[in-house]
Each structure stands twice: as structure tokens, then as C-alpha cells.
Chain A
């Protein structure tokens, strides 16, 4: 159908008219040449400093990759926990240094595998988790001290964090030393990705519960990874991506401070997740600007005194929106450039989209290729030799100043509109981001915004041969059967009493994490615990605005 309209085309409109001014995606005009004068006019080098020192623009550690390259953490998970455990082990054997767990949609939104709404979705986009038992299987044989685990889960994050901690404790790990991360950024789920469960207020209360609980029980664990990433994937520009991430991080910080914690007790465990596709220099400037800005916010606005509280620790990866269905091999090349961006930006952790992701759950070989892409940068291309290699470029330093200024303006705009929590609850931020996504698509379709394979250098192409990840109905059946066995075998009175306690604690408004931990250890299911919380909090009702 589409192939009839396609033809072989040449360069983009933009290349054909080089006299027009050029703006980056964040709306900053790019000059032909940058000099010391431009840098001075943008604010000079005041915020540059040295790596490992405030304001951390150049990196959060003195030695960065020279001491230890970024953690490689490909997003993985499908079918049931056994399948996922096998793929985890394959990736570790191939040099991966962290895990990034994908959960199926029922698990992400608090449904058990035997729920009617889960039909056709069990194990489809991630691994199915119903109870602690599934965590025990998924991480069997994996050394949780050597490999740090990131749980990509939000709506049901409080439950999944409890399952991870309970599993680790059962295996004899000391929780006070356990490292790991949960995504657990619910505000961005309301803007993009959509795995919310409860209304906005109780949802952010749960995030604060996890931060407070971890600060006491598992102080090295990162309970939240604030994601500009998905907001960018939903249509935000790079400056907005980071600015929205920061207003969200501030919203969580404010809630935790209200509970009487000191900012230095938890700020160092806040982590971040940002996107890497787009203009190379704009992204590098974005990350450098963001580090300086976050350090300044935590120090000056919140009065932190520990430098570790001020550092912007992040995973920088992905970039799915930059990839195309057209000429999918080109995505391998894009992925390599995205990895370069991430390395030049000083990210702590990297995860790359695989070239077949526009079609299917990545094949084993596509994931291996993503790992090799990162390993080539580390081993062959000199990316780990020196810290912040682009520092001192008139262009990069000027752009870093301009991006920081742009982010501050955007944060100010959010404040003027009543803050991010209000904007999310009313749906105004969702509407703004989606209007931008529409504008961008129109610009791509008209050729204003160049995209190789879509509006320039197109070829007539047939649907490529792709190794589609099969959906295993049998795995889903086995998951449901296993859940049935669990329900029969567990101590049902312990389940009932721990769930009743969870309801009581939710009603009282105290931190629900201890009650969730107790229910998890009694093998209560994700659905049962979610229902207990829904009985108190209710469910989110999505505002739809255009």
C-alpha cells in the first residue's frame, strides 16, 4: 500500500536550501562559527569546573570511564521468569554488566496473570510476575553484588521493589549494602508510557514511601529513576525532556522532605534516565547543562551539603523514536551514533535500542550487536581515555550554557502554571507534549525535518525479513497454572492478614512499604496487593484533552 507512493529520493529539503537559519530541536539557533566571544556572551566558563567537582558539568566522577566504563544494561524480559533468566545469563556471558528488567503489562499495572484483562498480554512485552516466587526464578544463579539490577516498572513499583528486596534478603544479601534501581517514576507515566494505576496524589505518595523506606532499609538502593526519557519519546524536545525531569524530581524531593528526612539522606540515591537520539552536539550539551543545573538546584534550593547529593547519576540510552521502520539496517548505524552520544555525555549506564525494535522484541543477535556497539567504543575508539572530551569547544560550551538557560525557562513556565503535579492531573502537560508530537510528524511528512529513509534517500523496499519474536501461548498457560498452584499451597491466613494490614496502613496514610514487604513474603500476588491499595486509593481517571 505505501510502497506505491515511495520512490527513490535524494537529499533533504534542508540540504537543498542551505541559506535558511538552522535551529536545534530545543529552539536554539545554531551559528556558522563559534568563537570565544560567543562563549563569553552566553555566560562564559563559570559553570564548567572540573570533573568530580561541583557543579559537575564535566562529569560526576574525577576519572569517569578511565576507572570504570559505563554499565551496559540492555532492556530485557519476556515470557515467563525461566525464559528471562536464560536471556539474562546469555547477556552476562556476553559482557553485559547490569540487568534492565522488562515486565509484561499485567505485572506493570497490577494485574495477576489469571485476570481476564490479562488475556493475550501475559509475558508479551516483558516477563510475567505474579509473586515473589517469580523473582526467585528470574534471578536464580545471578550474583546480585556483581550485577546490579534495574527494574523498569512504575505503577506497581512499590510491590516490585519489595519483591526484589525480599528475594535478595532470602538469598542472604545484606540489604544495607544492596545496590540496584527501580524506575518508579509515576509522574512521567501519566505523560507517556501509561502504566498508571492509582490517581495522581496517592501515586506520588507511594513514590515518597519507597524513597523513605529505602533510605532507612536499603540506603544504597536507588528507588527512583526520574525519566525525561519517555517524555521526549512522547513529543518533548531535549531541553523540555530534562527540565520536565527536574520538576518531577523536585516534586518527589519535596514530598520526602515533608516527612522530615534531610535532603542529604536520600538525594544521592535519586537517579535519572534520559534519551540520546537527535543532534549529537545538542544532546551532549543537554547532559552537561543538566548536570550543572541539577547540582545547583540541590545545593542552592535544597541546601544539600554532601556533594554526592548534587550529582546527576543517569542512564542515557534508548532512542526508539529516532529509529525508522524504513531501511531498518540504518538503525544499526544510528544506534552506534547514539552510543557515541551517550559516551561523550558521561552517562553512568547505557542501554541501546536494537535495530529490530520497530518490528519485534529484539532477537538475541540484535541484543548482542548492541552490546558489541558499546564494547567497540570502550575497547577500540578511545572513549574511556579522558573525561569529557568535548569540553572547551566554543560551540559545546556555548550550547551548554544556552541549553541550561532554556531548561531554567521551561522549569519556570511549569511553576507559573501551578507546578508539574497540577499540570499532570489536569492533563495540560500531556496535551502540550502530544501537540508537539503532531507538529513534528507534520514536519517530517512535509520534509521540513529531515529523516533518512522517510523524507530523503528513500528507496522502494519490501517489508524486510525480520526474526519475529513468537508469542508463546504455552508460557502464558504455564504462568497461570503456576499461579494456581501458588494460591493452593501458600498459607492463606498469612496472605489475608498481611493484606488486611496493607489496607489499614493505606487508610491511615502511613508508609505502606513495611506492609507490602510482609504481604510479599507471605506470597501475596501483585494483583491482590494492588487491589488492596485500590480499595483505599481508587483508580486513576485519565483526563483527555486535545
Chain B
């Protein structure tokens, strides 16, 4: 057992306001026993990196529904490296078209959970990787 609960950041990157999925995932993660920090909408890369650092999270999760995730993650990646956060578990969910998934993996995303993923799968993935 970990001495402390796993800390997960869920952020809404970019300008998209569709947060049904993000909020559902937050609830599922809370029910699964994680400590969850939810940023709310419209987080620029710098804000996500800053909160991740301040809150000392184990997992950085993004919820993207409007397609701007690849260019966003490129910018976030630089900041994560700069702040020494690139060893954190980095995951993304939402509307993630197949052609983007390869690019996201290359950027260092550890887990990609497109719409339709079962909640349990996300919980298990985090538990497994944060042992």
C-alpha cells in the first residue's frame, strides 16, 4: 500500500467547454479512492503544469473533446520536462481520433482513453501504473 492516496489531476485543456466526460471521470476516480484535483475549464498548458507541480500529483489527466490536443500536448510536454514532471503518469481521454493517437504516444502520453472507454479501465490503469 502507498503511504498516501494516489493524487490525480484532471484538467480541461484549451478552450473547449464540454465537461460532461471530465466530471464523470472525476466522480469515478473519487469513488475509486483517489484524491482528485479538478481544474475546471480552459486551462492553458502553463496552468496545468503549475497545478501539477503545486499539488504534487502522481497522474496528469486531460479531457479533450474539441480536437486541439496534439498541439496542446506538444506545448505541455515542454513545460512538464522543464518542471521535472515528465516522470508522472500522463493520460488523456475524450474525442481522440485514431490518427492522433500515435502522435500523442510519441509525445509521451502513457494512456489514451477514447470515448467509449469503461471507467473501470481508467481506474485499473492508474492503480496498475502507480503501484
The segment from A310-318, A368-376, A431-439, A527-535 found at the interface with B is A431-439
Q: How far is the CB of A466 from chain B (nearest CB, A)?
A: 8
Known: A542-B41, A546-B27. A194 touches B117 (CB 8 A): no
Interface residues of B (CB under 8 A from A): 14-20, 23-24, 26-28, 30, 38, 40-42, 44, 66-68, 71-72, 75, 95, 97-99, 114-121
For the complex formed, measure the closest distance between the CB of A469 and the CB atoms of chain B, giving whole angstroms.
9
Residue from B20, B66, B98 in contact with A105 in the complex, judged by beta carbons closer than 8 Å: B66
A-B contact count (CB 8 A): 100
A121 B115 Cβ-Cβ under 8 A: no
The reply to whether B99 and A124 contact each other, CB–CB distance below 8 Å, is no
Q: Which residues of B contact A16 (CB under 8 A)?
A: none
Chain B contacts of A546 at CB under 8 A? 23, 26-27, 30, 38
Q: Are B114 and A325 in contact (CB under 8 A)?
A: yes
Per the 8 Å Cβ criterion, residues 113-164 of A in contact with B are 117-121, 124-125
Please name the 10 residue pairs, one residue from A and one from B, whose CB atoms are nearest each other, closest first: A194-B17, A120-B71, A105-B15, A434-B23, A120-B68, A542-B40, A438-B27, A325-B116, A438-B24, A463-B98
**Known: A105-B66, A120-B72, A124-B68. Is A2-B17 also a contact (CB below 8 A)?**
no
> How far apart are the CA atoms of A193 and B38 in the complex, in Å?
17
Residues 96-123 of A, flagged 1 when their CB comes within 8 A of B and 0 if not, give 0000000001101101000001111100
Q: Name A's B-contacting residues (CB within 8 A).
A: 1-2, 5, 105-106, 108-109, 111, 117-121, 124-125, 189, 192-196, 233-235, 324-326, 358-360, 434-435, 437-438, 441-442, 445, 454, 463, 466, 468, 471, 542, 544, 546
Contact B97 A234 (CB under 8 A): no
Residue in contact with A234 in the complex, picked from B15, B20, B41, CB distance below 8 Å: B20
Q: Hey, which chain A residues are within 8 Å of B44, CB to CB?
A: 117
Give complex CA distance A121, B118 in Å.
28
Contact present for B28 and A2 (CB under 8 Å): no
State whether B24 touches A434 (Cβ < 8 A): yes
Could you tell me the distance between the alpha carbons of A448 and B125 in the complex, rounded to whole angstroms? 25
Q: A192–B97 contact, CB under 8 A? A: no
Residues of B within 8 A of A441 (CB): 24, 119
Q: With A325-B115, A434-B27, A438-B28 as known contacts, state yes or no: A471 contacts B67, CB within 8 Å.
A: yes
Q: Tell me which residues across on chain B come within 8 A of A119, comparing CB atoms.
A: 71, 75
Are B27 and A2 in contact, with the CB atoms below 8 A? no
Residues from chain A with a CB closer than 8 A to the CB of B30 are 546
Which of B19, B75, B119 is close to A445, meaning CB atoms less than 8 Å apart?
Answer: B119
